[in-house]
Amino acid sequence: MGCLFCKIIAREIPSQIILEDEHTLAFRDVRPVAPTHALVIPKKHVVAISDTTDEDALMLGQLVSAARRVAKQENLTSGFRLVINDGPDAGQSVFHVHLHVLGGRALSWPPG
């Protein structure tokens, strides 16, 4: 099992866990780009959004629900952004689906 995020789920690599339920885990990004920068991941190993199918709709909904709970827990009352990078043009660097939760400052648009 070479996947970094699977190792975080298995507690083989330490992380600052914010929230966990049966299907998802949320932890702080090691290279934060905002005062709150969390990653929400499915416990099931899925490489990228482009690898998912309609069968994964429930899991994808669970990710967004968990992200909403992270934002509430982190008190991001003035707004937050959810980001999923897919593939090289988007700069995906870890190949286990993850949703970035960014907040705690005004976020510019469009992203770089």
Rounded to a whole number of angstroms, the minimum distance from the CB of residue 86 to ligand DGP is 9
Which of 23, 45, 96, 98 is an active site residue? Answer: 98
Q: 22 near 7, Cβ under 8 Å?
A: no
Position among 49, 68, 82, 85 found at the interface with ligand DGP (CB under 6 A): 85
For 96, phi then psi, to 5°, come to -145, 120
- Contacting residue, 41, 92, 99, 102, with ligand DGP by CB under 6 A: 92
- # chain residues binding ligand DGP, by CB under 6 A: 14
